[in-house]
Amino acid sequence: MTHLSGTAIDEARASGRAALIGYLPVGYPDVATSVAAAKELVAGGADVIELGLPYTDPLMDGPVIQHAVDAALRAGTRTRDVLSAVEQVAGTGVPALVMSYWNPVDRYGVRRFARDLASVGGAGVITPDLIPDEGEDWLSASDDAGIERIFLVAPSSTPERLRTTAAACRGWVYAASTMGVTGVRTSVGTGAADLVSRTRAAGAGRVCVGLGVSTRAQAAEVASFADGVIVGSAFVRALTGASDRGAALRAVRDLAEDLAAGVREGRPA
Catalytic residues: 50, 61
**Which residues are bridge partners to 25 per DSSP?**
52
**DSSP 8-state secondary structure symbol assigned to residue 52:** E
Cα–Cα–Cα angle for 26, 29, 33, nearest 5°? 70
Distances from the Cα of 41 to the Cαs of 5, 57, 103, 145, 162, in angstroms? 15, 26, 28, 27, 31
Q: Look at strands 96-99 and 173-176 and give their pairing.
A: unpaired
Q: Look at strands 124-126 and 148-150 and give their pairing.
A: parallel
Q: Give which of 104, 95, 120 is closest to 72, Cα–Cα.
A: 104
Q: Give which of 46, 8, 96 is closest to 235, Cα–Cα.
A: 46
Q: Give which of 236, 239, 234, 259 is closest to 249, Cα–Cα.
A: 239
Q: Is the dihedral of CA 21, 88, 125, 64 positive or negative?
A: positive
How many CA atoms lie less than 13 Å away from 60 in the CB half-sphere?
21
Distance CA 200, CA 152 (A): 13
Amino acid in position 210: G
